[in-house]
Amino acid sequence: METRRVTRHTRAADARLVQVMNVLRVPARLRLLFALDEGELSVTQLIRATRLRQPSVSANLRVLRDAKLVQRRRVANFALYRSSDSTVMRILLDLKQHLAQTGNTKK
């Protein structure tokens, strides 16, 4: 029985990993996450920080929310977004730093 439970857990973890990796394969989503690492931001602030257009920001935030990588908080007539998975953010920042240090970045 223990083997079955571990296999199910591993399969679930693998499925979640695939989901997150698919979400993160879009550069605009990475830009949004890196901007949100600085703190909670509105859509307008994200547009300024990432230089993405509003429809792109909104659509990609929806995908990030669905993947549980970003959370939204409503304040009056607008929404504030923040990163919701500190472990994923730490891994992304570490990977970005590693690639920059080793020269393995695409220019």
65-93 pLDDT per residue, tens: 999 999 999 999 989 999 998 999 999 99
* Whether residue 51 has pLDDT greater than 70: yes
Looking at residue 1, its pLDDT comes to: 46
pTM of the model: 0.83
- Spatial distance between the Cα atoms of 107 and 6, rounded to a whole number of angstroms: 42
- Which of 62-67's residues contact partners 24+ apart within 8 Å by CB, and which partners? 63/23, 63/26, 63/29, 64/23, 64/29, 64/32, 64/33, 67/19, 67/20, 67/23
